[in-house]
């Protein structure tokens, strides 16, 4: 059985697939016509975020049974087209969930204690204590939107620290554990001091955090997004920061990322992004929350196992 690797992967993934008896072909840079010419008989394809798997792409591989995505999301795959062909699409969110949770926690603690600002002030020779008085996380209620593997892992990390956690998931009930409180979105609007978004990017969630969303919160909030950039309307966040509805924001993902997550789009920066860059109560990172040495290893080994299990079951 042939497995075609269409992006750089982890050695543990390749070793696992080879040990399972698959023939591996590395075709990182090959154009589609060349891929079809040489590898139309592929039954397994491994991708990351760079490649868009459209219905036309799938048509070019009539024997395809499994698509493995070395990552947490599947938004770069036409899932409806894959389902019509009965092609199994696999992902490994459990591989980087802990990394995302720790990154979100680090962003939140940095913002609550004004670390971006005090770093600058110290470099300028300023020693300002009273104006930089922070908040303790245990004094706040943290709202989690989306209780999948990512949101659940972050919620459990906070719960273990004794933090009050409110969790909302539109499509789940009965999932709360430990001290985590399952709640409605209205409960979050009423009670949350912090909001952390853990949603997949779909037609439903694109632009989810918009002006109406921020306006609905009774208290001013701290906002964290480690999920997908287009879930947030950046201009709405800027307005909420200006009005004080949002006290601070930590964004590992941006609305303006390329779909491959490799860089921002080319050209002048949008005004909303420029406005974020000017603020010291906004902390940005380049889509690295789930990108650690350990998470890459876990994703590689887990995806190999899932692919082999899927093949054996087919």
Catalytic residue (choose from 69, 156, 228, 255): 228
Q: Which one from 287, 294, 297, 309 is the annotated catalytic residue?
A: 287
pLDDT given for residue 308 in this prediction:
96
Inside any domain, residue 301: no
Give pLDDT, residue 168: 98
Residue 70 domain flag:
yes
Assess whether 217 and 252 both reside in one domain.
yes
Question: By residue range, what is the domain housing residue 64?
Answer: 2-91
H or E stretch covering 152: helix 149-160
Q: What is the pLDDT of residue 35?
A: 81
300 pLDDT more than 90: yes
Lowest-confidence pick of 46-50, 173-177, 191-195, 296-300: 46-50
Indicate if 126 and 270 belong to the same structural domain. Answer: yes
Residue 30 has pLDDT above 80, yes or no: no
Is there a single domain that holds both residue 120 and residue 19?
no
**What is the predicted pLDDT for the residue at 9?**
87
Number of residues written out for the chain:
314
pLDDT on residue 287:
94
Please say if 228 is a catalytic residue: yes
Give the domain-ending residue among 35, 65, 91: 91
Across all residues in the chain, what is the average pLDDT? Answer: 94
Give pLDDT, residue 246. Answer: 98
Q: Is 6 among the domain residues?
A: yes
Backbone angles phi, psi at 126, to 5 degrees: -100, 135
Task: Give CA–CA dist 40/33, Å, rounded.
Answer: 10
**Average pLDDT value for residue range 260-264:** 77
**Are residue 174 and residue 248 in the same domain, yes or no?**
yes
Mean pLDDT, range 168-176, rounded to an integer: 95
Q: Is 287 a catalytic residue?
A: yes
Last residue of a domain, one of 40, 61, 91: 91
Q: Which residue has the higher pLDDT, 267 or 233?
A: 233
Residue 307 within a domain: no
Q: What is the CATH number of the domain that holds 255?
A: 3.40.50.720
- Separation between Cα atoms, residue 198 and residue 147, nearest integer Å: 7
222 is catalytic: no
Whether 228 and 193 share a structural domain: yes
Whether the per-residue pLDDT at 31 is higher than 80: the answer is: no
pLDDT confidence bin for 261, thresholds 50/70/90: confident
Please tell me the predicted confidence (pLDDT) of residue 13.
Answer: 95
Instruction: Report the DSSP beta bridge partners of residue 69.
Output: 47
pLDDT at 290 over 90: yes
9 vs 19: CA distance, rounded Å: 16
pLDDT of 243 reads: 97
Residues 87 and 151 in one domain: no
Mean pLDDT is lowest, of 70-84, 104-118, 234-248, 264-278, for 264-278
Residues 129 and 236 in one domain: yes
**Does residue 147 sit in the same domain as residue 26?**
no
**Where in 209-311 does DSSP place strands (E)?**
221-225, 246-251, 282-284
- Residue 308 is assigned to a structural domain of this protein: no
Share of the chain above pLDDT 70, in %: 100
Between CA 238 and CA 279 the distance in angstroms is 10
Pair 43, 166 in one domain = no
Say if CB 72 and CB 290 are below 8 A apart.
yes
Q: So what's the pLDDT on residue 237?
A: 98
The mean per-residue pLDDT over the stretch 261-274 comes to 84
pLDDT at 266: 73
User: Of these residues, 14, 43, 255, 257, which one is catalytic?
Assistant: 257
pLDDT of 33 over the 80 cut: no
What is the mean predicted confidence (pLDDT) over 149-165?
98
Do the domain assignments include residue 302? Answer: no
Same domain, 158 and 84: no
Residues 211 and 154 occupy one common structural domain: yes
* Beta-bridge partner residues of 182: 167
> How many domains in the chain?
2
Task: Look at residue 57 and tell me if it is in a domain.
Answer: yes
With respect to residue 197, please indicate whether it lies within any of the assigned structural domains: yes
Question: From CA 219, how far away is CA 6, in angstroms rounded?
Answer: 47
Cβ(27)–Cβ(39) under 8 Å? yes
159 and 10 belong to one structural domain: no
């Amino acid at each position: 059985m042939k497995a075609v690797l269409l992006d750089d992967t982890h050695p543990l993934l390749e070793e696992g697939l080879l040990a399972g008896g698959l023939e591996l072909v590395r075709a990182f840079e090959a154009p589609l016509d060349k891929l079809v010419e040489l590898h139309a008989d592929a039954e397994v394809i491994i991708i990351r975020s760079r490649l868009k798997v459209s219905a036309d792409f799938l048509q070019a591989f009539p024997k395809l049974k499994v698509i493995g995505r070395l990552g947490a999301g599947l938004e770069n795959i036409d899932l409806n087209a894959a389902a019509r062909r009965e092609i199994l699409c696999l992902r490994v969110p459990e591989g980087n969930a802990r990394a995302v949770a720790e990154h979100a926690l680090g962003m939140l603690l940095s913002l609550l204690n004004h670390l971006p600002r005090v770093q600058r002030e110290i470099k300028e020779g300023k020693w300002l204590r009273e104006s930089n008085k922070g908040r303790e996380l245990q004094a706040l209620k943290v709202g989690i939107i989306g209780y999948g593997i990512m949101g659940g892992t972050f919620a459990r990390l906070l719960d273990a620290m004794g933090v009050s956690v409110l969790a909302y998931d539109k499509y789940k009930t009965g999932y709360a554990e430990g001290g985590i409180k399952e709640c409605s979105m209205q409960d979050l609007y009423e009670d949350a001091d912090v909001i952390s978004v853990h949603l997949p990017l779909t037609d439903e969630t694109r632009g989810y955090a918009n002006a109406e969303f921020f306006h609905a919160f009774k208290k001013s909030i701290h906002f964290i997004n480690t999920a997908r950039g287009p879930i947030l309307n950046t201009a709405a966040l800027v307005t909420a920061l200006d009005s004080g509805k949002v006290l601070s924001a930590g964004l590992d993902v941006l609305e303006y990322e390329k779909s491959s997550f490799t860089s921002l789009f080319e050209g002048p920066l949008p005004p909303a992004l420029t406005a974020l860059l000017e603020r010291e109560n906004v902390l940005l990172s380049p889509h690295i929350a789930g990108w650690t040495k350990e998470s890459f290893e876990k994703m590689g080994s887990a995806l190999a196992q899932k692919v082999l299990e899927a093949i054996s079951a087919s």
